[in-house]
């Protein structure tokens, strides 16, 4: 594999732990978890791995400002802000105002950066949004339908102001970011003998999948390493056909970047979109139940948006005997736990 520029700051390899009490609930498959919520960098998460490569590329390009975009409670934005602080970049975050219920008080707060725009900015800065500010990021607000245009505009402004911006896409999911999960899959296979897996190779890897970089990297890593299990993405916000296509394309372009010749067929990408519920960021009863089960049976904290939904899907599939009784299943914890404390989730979780 071609070596890409990389700054090693994530806490790797992440631990693999057994989930015996949760496994016992379903009387069959053995469940494990890979703790990518513990990758370090401002509470950790899957974006640490991607940022090792993205920040290295930004540095190599002589950039001085990292720009990225996401939802109000974006973990990716929080971790990008932290990486920017750590490596001496300015950071501009473009946040969309949908996905979080906000009350608009009579005296709504002034809109940052764009006072003329009538947007529903959150009245309180909690959790990831609070951390973005604490980490020194500049925040620009946008509504969903203008976000592409606004992102370009923000980039152009920064460029014209001589700030040497580097644009990181949503979720850090371009070939540079996705390549991190090629290495993550190889890391998992390498560590199987030194962990509770005791040499077992999981039959299944279950992950939340959204911008697709995590799944694309794992799928490509599986091809390159000859991993024989399946990588099942539980879709967070996209119909399966859209996400499958995105993952396959990204896996192929990542292969090209790494100088690997592989052919990845859309039909071999496993995505389940049965658990979209009320849409992105809307925590329903099934997410709540799954988060409570992981917390109360294993003392493990998930997040309301991604791992909450993916674990709800996993639990449903277990209850419907989707897996063989002898299967080993690795749930890849991608992080996001700070959002547990965000409005409106914290009030709904109990």
Ligand X SMILES: *Cc1c(COP(=O)(O)O)cnc(C)c1O
Which residue ranges make up the site for ligand X (CB under 6 A)?
A: 45-46, 75-76, 171, 173, 208-215, 303, 306-307, 334-336
| CB-nearer residue toward ligand X: 30 or 75 | 75
| CB-nearer residue toward ligand X: 22 or 305 | 305
| CB-nearer residue toward ligand X: 30 or 39 | 39
Cβ 184 to ligand X, closest distance in Å?
11
Cβ 10 to ligand X, closest distance in Å?
14
**Phi and psi of 330, rounded to 5°?**
-105, 115
- What is the distance between the alpha carbons of residues 175 and 252, in angstroms, rounded to a whole number? 9
- What is the distance between the alpha carbons of residues 73 and 80, in angstroms, rounded to a whole number? 13
Q: Which residue is nearest to ligand X (CB)?
A: 336
- What is the distance between the alpha carbons of residues 213 and 68, in angstroms, rounded to a whole number? 15
Match 């916000």 to its residue by tokens: 237
| CB-nearer residue toward ligand X: 247 or 318 | 247
How far separated are the first and last CA of the chain, in Å rounded?
Answer: 47
Cβ 218 to ligand X, closest distance in Å?
10
| CB-nearer residue toward ligand X: 34 or 158 | 34
- What is the distance between the alpha carbons of residues 239 and 260, in angstroms, rounded to a whole number? 29
Cβ 106 to ligand X, closest distance in Å?
34
Q: State yes or no: is 74 an active-site residue.
A: yes
- What is the distance between the alpha carbons of residues 146 and 163, in angstroms, rounded to a whole number? 23
Q: Which of 11-48 are b and which e, b meaning 16 or more Cβ less than 10 Å from the residue's Cβ? A: ebbbebbbbeebbeebebbbbbbbbbbbbebbbbbbbb
| CB-nearer residue toward ligand X: 29 or 335 | 335
Of 23, 74, 179, 211, the catalytic one is 74
Cβ 116 to ligand X, closest distance in Å?
31
Q: What sign does the dihedral 336-340-345-349 (CA atoms) show?
A: positive
- What is the distance between the alpha carbons of residues 286 and 207, in angstroms, rounded to a whole number? 17
Q: Which uninterrupted H or E stretch holds 17?
A: strand 16-18
- Using DSSP's 3-state secondary structure scheme, residue 318 falls into helix
Catalytic (active-site) positions: 74
């Amino acid at each position: 594999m071609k070596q890409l520029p990389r700054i090693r700051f994530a806490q790797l390899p992440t631990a693999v732990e057994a989930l015996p009490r949760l496994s016992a609930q379903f009387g069959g498959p053995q469940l494990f978890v890979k703790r990518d919520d513990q990758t370090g960098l401002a509470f950790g998460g899957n974006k640490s791995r991607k940022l090792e490569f993205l920040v290295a590329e930004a540095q190599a390009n002589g950039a001085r400002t990292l720009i990225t975009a996401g939802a109000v409670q974006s973990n990716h934005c929080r971790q990008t802000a932290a990486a920017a602080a750590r490596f001496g970049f300015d950071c501009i975050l473009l946040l969309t105002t949908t996905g979080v219920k906000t009350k608009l008080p009579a005296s709504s707060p002034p809109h940052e950066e764009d006072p003329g725009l009538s947007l529903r900015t959150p009245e309180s800065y909690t959790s990831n949004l609070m951390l973005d500010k604490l980490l020194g990021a500049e925040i620009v607000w946008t509504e969903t339908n203008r976000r592409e245009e606004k992102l370009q505009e923000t980039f152009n402004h920064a460029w014209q102001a001589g700030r040497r911006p580097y644009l990181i896409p949503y979720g850090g999911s371009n070939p540079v970011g996705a390549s991190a999960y090629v290495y993550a899959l190889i890391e998992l296979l390498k560590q199987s003998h030194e962990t509770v897996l005791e040499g077992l190779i999981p039959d299944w890897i279950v992950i939340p999948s959204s911008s697709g970089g995590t799944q694309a990297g794992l799928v490509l890593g599986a091809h390159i390493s000859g991993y024989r299990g399946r990588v099942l993405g539980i879709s967070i916000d996209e119909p399966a056909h859209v996400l499958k296509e995105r993952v396959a394309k990204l896996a192929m372009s990542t292969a090209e970047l790494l100088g690997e010749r592989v052919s990845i067929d859309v039909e071999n990408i496993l995505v389940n979109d049965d658990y979209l519920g009320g849409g992105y960021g809307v925590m329903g009863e099934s997410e709540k139940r799954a988060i409570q089960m992981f917390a109360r049976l294993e003392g493990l904290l998930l997040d309301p948006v991604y791992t909450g939904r993916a674990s709800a899907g996993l639990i449903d599939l277990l209850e419907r005997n989707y897996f063989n009784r002898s299967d080993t299943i690795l749930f890849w914890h991608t992080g996001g736990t700070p959002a547990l404390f965000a409005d409106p989730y914290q009030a709904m979780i109990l």
